[in-house]
Amino acid sequence: MQSKALFALATTIVAASAKNILLTNDDGWAATNIRALYRDLKAAGHDVIMVAPAEQRSGYGGKFQLDSSNTLQYDTLFSYPPAGSPSWGHEEDDLNVWYYNGTPAACVAVGLDYIIPTYFNNISVDLVVGGPNEGNNLGERDFVLSGTEGATFYAVERGYPAIAFSGANSNNSFFKDNLDTDPNHAPNIYSKKSVELIQALFEKQGDNPRALPLATGLNVNFPVAGSDLESDCLDPPYYQSRFTGSDYVPYAIAYNESTGLVDWANAETGTLDVAAAGDSSLPAEFNVVNGCASSITVFTLDPDAQKSAVDQIIGNFQSLLA
Ligand SMILES: *[C@@H]1O[C@H](CO)[C@@H](O)[C@H](O)[C@H]1NC(C)=O
Ligand SMILES: *[C@@H]1O[C@H](CO)[C@@H](O)[C@H](O)[C@H]1NC(C)=O
Ligand SMILES: *[C@@H]1O[C@H](CO)[C@@H](O)[C@H](O)[C@H]1NC(C)=O
């Protein structure tokens, strides 16, 4: 009798803190990092619905691209699923794990507007999570480039609290080959750190209907960590950071004489040291993840410039304004 009462109490506690989470990324539903986080968020007691791209969609930013066919016209990454499969579907043995052949932002919409209403009784989503991305997403440059961040800011636009996580293990790795339970492997470290942050937010949320204020989100980056990345960094602590900052490195290109192509390069400028909003003393994400440390940047969707800059610039053509 007593043990039954205890059991009932334990289930109530789990139920009270269980949240509905929509999970996506840009590396595709077959990526190891997202499968590790799916596993661990479920283990923490949450109801997780994953809707992620059928293939690698890195670099698509917030692009909203839907499939124009019901059938996959080509093999996806790791042929998972192969050409000829439906353009969206779920794991045979798990109705909560879906792919959709579209961009990451489109996957969030397909989750919110089709899969959840159709297959999940239109449950309300408490949090949208992107990642952990395979590769860091640093600064304003990746805010507009990364599909994982694009999905996240799309979710914020839709009114949901959302977090983008990105890890430094930029390897397109297939979960069927790479997902394991070694706590010293990067996907498991990033997943554990992500769950830690998500749990902290939910605990503070209490009875509040939202985990984060309307129109805000978080961008989180993890450094090189784990024995699979030959690093002895195993538990990188969190630091608050910002998108801009003195060591901001935008992308550039370099012409390659031997291939006749232009390659990715870094612009050697440290010029984006402008803090239009927020605390300019915070370190850039670039600096934080250089060490055994993780960065958390709070963002809003309002990209308007600081009022003093706007007034000065508008003043230049005030006479033209109606
Ligand atoms: C699902 O719920 C959302 C949010 O409460 C609502 O806006 C939407 O109309 C619902 N969709 C369906 C198909 O019931
Ligand atoms: C990177 O991905 C490939 C392809 O899935 C895999 O064979 C390899 O083990 C991965 N490497 C690491 C360090 O995860
Ligand atoms: C040009 O491209 C080749 C082939 O990808 C590469 O091996 C080489 O390092 C590149 N050269 C430069 C200067 O980046």
- Spell out a b/e string for 216-233, using b for 16 or more CB atoms within 10 Å of the CB, else e: ebbbbbbbbbbebbebeb
The set of residues, in sequence order, having a beta carbon less than 8 Å from that of 62 and lying 6+ positions away, is 105, 144, 150, 151, 153, 154
The set of residues, in sequence order, having a beta carbon less than 8 Å from that of 101 and lying 6+ positions away, is 53, 54, 55, 67, 72, 76, 87, 88
**Ligand in closest contact with the CA of 112:** 1
The better pLDDT of the pair 106, 247 is held by 106
List for the chain the helix, strand, coil content (%; round to 5). Answer: 35, 20, 45
Residue 237 confidence (pLDDT): 98
Distance (Å, whole) CA 154 – CA 156:
5
Answer yes or no: is pLDDT of 75 > 50.
Answer: yes
Average confidence (pLDDT) over 288-310: 91
Radius of gyration for the chain, computed over Cα atoms and rounded to the nearest angstrom:
21
The set of residues, in sequence order, having a beta carbon less than 8 Å from that of 204 and lying 6+ positions away, is none
Ligand 1 midpoint to CA 122 (Å): 6
| pLDDT tens per residue across span 47-73 | 999 999 999 999 999 999 999 999 999
| pLDDT tens per residue across span 128-162 | 999 999 999 999 899 999 999 999 999 999 999 99
Mean pLDDT of the chain: 92
Q: What burial class does residue 114 get, using C-beta atoms within 10 Å of its C-beta: 0-12 exposed, 13-18 middle, 19+ buried?
A: middle
Q: Is the peptide bond before 236 cis (omega within 30 degrees of 0)?
A: no
CB-based contact 42:48 (threshold 8 Å) = yes
pLDDT confidence bin for 308, thresholds 50/70/90: confident
Residue nearest to atom 5 of ligand 3 (CA): 259
Nearest-atom index, ligand 2, CA of 171: 1
Range with lowest mean pLDDT among 90-104, 146-160, 226-240, 299-313: 299-313
* CA-closest candidate to residue 213, choices 312, 304, 83, 301: 301
Domains of the chain: 2-247+274-320 (3.40.1210.10)
Residue 85 confidence (pLDDT): 98
Determine the straight-line distance between the first and last CA of the chain, rounded to whole angstroms.
Answer: 77
Residue 11 confidence (pLDDT): 44
Residue 24 confidence (pLDDT): 98
CA dihedral for 69, 73, 75, 77, sign (positive or negative): negative
| pLDDT tens per residue across span 244-290 | 887 788 899 999 999 999 999 988 776 677 777 778 889 999 999 99
Q: Name residues contacting ligand 2 (CB within 6 A).
A: 171-174, 177-178, 228
Residue 14 confidence (pLDDT): 46
**Max Cα–Cα distance, the chain, nearest Å:** 81
Residue 7 confidence (pLDDT): 44
Catalytic residue among 87, 166, 231, 294: 166
Residue 145 confidence (pLDDT): 96
Question: What is the percentage of the chain residues whose pLDDT exceeds 70?
Answer: 94
Parallel, antiparallel, or unpaired: how do β-strands 94-100 and 88-91 relate?
A: antiparallel
Structure tokens at 59: 């670099």
Residue 271 confidence (pLDDT): 64
- Looking at the DSSP bridge assignments, the partners of residue 238 are 294
The better pLDDT of the pair 309, 216 is held by 216
Mutate to test the pocket of ligand 2, among 173, 174, 176, 231 (most ligand atoms within 8 A of CB): 173
Residue 277 confidence (pLDDT): 74
Structure tokens at 14: 């789990």
